[in-house]
């Protein structure tokens, strides 16, 4: 009677690494500068809490503008035609 050899186990593939971020080094340096400026302004303010809250509010406004721009761009790519603000686009989605 022939002996059956057990099949060799496949080695588990190493987990795939996420693609490296494509953020420009200049932008990262600018963000670091903004952080340093905010920290300096907060530490030298008469009311650090109020100053910090004001700075955070401005940063949030900037991030909301960036998010809205991204949403507008993605909507333009997925709609059959470009829809404007206040108008709901009707078209074919692209996957």
Q: Is the dihedral of CA 36, 37, 42, 43 positive or negative?
A: positive
Residues of the chain with pLDDT under 70: 1-4, 6, 8-15, 17-21, 75-95
The predicted-structure confidence for 18-41, as pLDDT tens digits, reads as follows: 666 688 899 999 999 999 999 999
C-beta of residue 40 within 8 angstroms of C-beta of residue 55: no
The whole-number pLDDT of residue 91 equals 54
Quick one: which of 73, 91, 71, 72 has its CA closest to 81? 91
Q: How is the chain split into domains, by residue range?
A: 47-82
Q: Quick one: pLDDT at residue 94?
A: 52
Answer yes or no: are the C-beta atoms of 28 and 36 closer than 8 Å: no
- Confirm whether pTM is higher than 0.85: no
pLDDT at position 51 is 96
How much is the pLDDT for 39? 96
């Amino acid at each position: 009677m022939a002996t059956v050899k057990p099949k060799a186990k496949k080695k588990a593939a190493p987990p795939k690494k996420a693609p490296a971020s494509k953020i420009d080094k200049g932008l990262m340096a600018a963000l670091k500068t903004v952080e340093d400026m905010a920290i300096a302004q907060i530490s030298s303010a008469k009311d650090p809490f109020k100053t910090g809250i004001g700075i955070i509010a401005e940063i949030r406004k900037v991030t909301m503008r960036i998010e809205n721009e991204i949403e507008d761009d993605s909507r333009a790519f997925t709609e059959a035609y470009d829809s404007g603000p206040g108008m709901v686009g009707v078209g074919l989605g692209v996957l």
